[in-house]
Chains A and B, each alone.
Chain A
């Protein structure tokens, strides 16, 4: 096995040219699990540990190599909250935003936030870069639009992130758990509300009907909150698997969305 540990993107692309099939290794929290199980045997590894462009976190841009330990300190409530729920301190120290995007699991904790704020994903290759909307990038369960020779540079948030944001997830314990259902809700001063749901569909999903309904409510009544919760559950597309059931996920995502909305309204 050969490993290179470039200091910058130019070094990554030089290495990729020599070995296009190389494993791009960042936090390792997904890829090393596969390596340990014997399911992944890369002959060539490009470590992204020292690539400085990937570590940039500058207001509206979050580099793919920014760890959840850093994002815990975000002043955007939902981003700080979701980062604090990722794995454990050991996982947050190394796990990166780019890892959630690259793995593209519907349960990735950062993805509902990126969807709720309509973030864009920037991909770079030796020949340039392209920026695409989150829902163009995330194409299916563990599938994304990344092409060979490309890597994820980071995510662009909109110029203005809504003033109130909240994240909630549920699993079998409070830490070190993969979401059974997760949700991110944002609400701006005009009442415009977005809702993104994780782990209840093939990719992260927006609950557009619920958004439209609650955005028209300046001060939602209990009945409006009930209807919002019902619509969120209705718009989920969960499955039954080893982690939970379709019925439970559908119910839980509505409850979580309502609680997150209530935090935005408080």
Chain B
């Protein structure tokens, strides 16, 4: 069957014959490789996308069930070749090491700042609790988000 997705504002079509996940379609059919494939159990958050405005694990969404819904992937977070402020802040604050988890953190962190421009430390940690990073110890990631709050307060 044909699945029509509105990915980062663009209407894209994929043919699916099995109950595969949105993650698989994004990567293998649509060649959007920013969304990472790791645990496929919803545990690690590396496949985080916005589906119809909600932060979800794309590995837990059946692609056929996302028909006609808007999807924002990490590729849709940066615009016109300009990094999203969170992406730059992650670079500046050492929030990136191996980089594998980074797209998920960018999507989850940008979603947090969109909904809550001045999150507390607790709110940041809770918002990122579904994303695992095995390199940074999270400190740089949290500082990156905090740096954006300080900028906005000035």
**Contact surface of A with B, Cβ cutoff 8 Å:** 1-3, 5, 23, 25, 27-29, 32-33, 35-37, 40-42, 45, 47, 49, 69, 87-91, 93-94, 174-176
Inter-subunit contact B62/A176 (CB<8 Å) = no
Contact of A175 with B129 at beta-carbon distance under 8 Å, contacts A25-B62, A28-B62, A87-B42 already known = yes
Q: Which of chain B's residues has its CB closest to A84's CB?
A: B126
* Bound form: Cα–Cα A25–B19 in Å: 11
Q: What's the least CB distance linking A44 to chain B, in Å?
A: 10
Q: Within the complex, which residue of B20, B64, B67, B130 is in contact with A90, where a contact is CB–CB below 8 Å? A: B130
Q: Which of B45, B57, B67, B126 has its CB near the most chain A CB atoms (within 10 A)?
A: B57
Q: Give the interface size class of chain B.
A: 20 to 34
Inter-subunit contact A88/B19 (CB<8 Å) = no
Q: What's the least CB distance linking A45 to chain B, in Å?
A: 6
Inter-subunit contact B21/A45 (CB<8 Å) = no
23 A-B pairs with C-beta separation under 8 A:
A23-B19, A25-B62, A25-B65, A27-B60, A28-B61, A29-B60, A36-B21, A36-B41, A40-B19, A45-B62, A45-B64, A47-B62, A47-B65, A49-B65, A88-B45, A88-B131, A89-B127, A90-B45, A90-B55, A91-B42, A175-B130, A176-B43, A176-B129
Q: Any chain A CB within 8 A of the CB of B79?
A: no
Q: Within the complex, which residue of B1, B20, B54, B57 is in contact with A2, where a contact is CB–CB below 8 Å? A: B1
Tell me whether chain A's interface is mostly helix, strand or loop, or mixed.
Answer: loop
Q: Which of chain A's residues has its CB closest to B59's CB?
A: A36
Beyond known contacts A90-B48, A90-B108: 13 more, CB 8 A cutoff = A1-B19, A5-B65, A28-B61, A28-B65, A29-B42, A29-B60, A32-B21, A36-B40, A47-B62, A91-B130, A94-B56, A175-B126, A176-B43
Inter-subunit contact B21/A176 (CB<8 Å) = no
Contact of A94 with B129 at beta-carbon distance under 8 Å, contacts A1-B17, A33-B40 already known = no
* Bound form: Cα–Cα A41–B19 in Å: 7
Contact of A88 with B129 at beta-carbon distance under 8 Å, contacts A3-B1, A33-B40, A93-B56 already known = yes
Q: Which of chain B's residues has its CB closest to A2's CB?
A: B1
Contact of A33 with B42 at beta-carbon distance under 8 Å, contacts A89-B129, A90-B130 already known = yes
Q: Which of B19-74 contact A (CB under 8 A)?
A: 19-21, 40-43, 45, 48, 54-57, 59-62, 64-65, 67
* Bound form: Cα–Cα A88–B130 in Å: 5
* Bound form: Cα–Cα A29–B59 in Å: 9
Q: Any chain A CB within 8 A of the CB of B16?
A: yes
Query: Which residues from A are CB-within-8-Å of B18?
Result: 1, 41
Inter-subunit contact A35/B126 (CB<8 Å) = no
Q: Within the complex, which residue of A23, A28, A69 is in contact with B60, where a contact is CB–CB below 8 Å? A: A28
Inter-subunit contact B129/A1 (CB<8 Å) = no
Inter-subunit contact B1/A90 (CB<8 Å) = no
Q: What's the least CB distance linking A49 to chain B, in Å?
A: 6
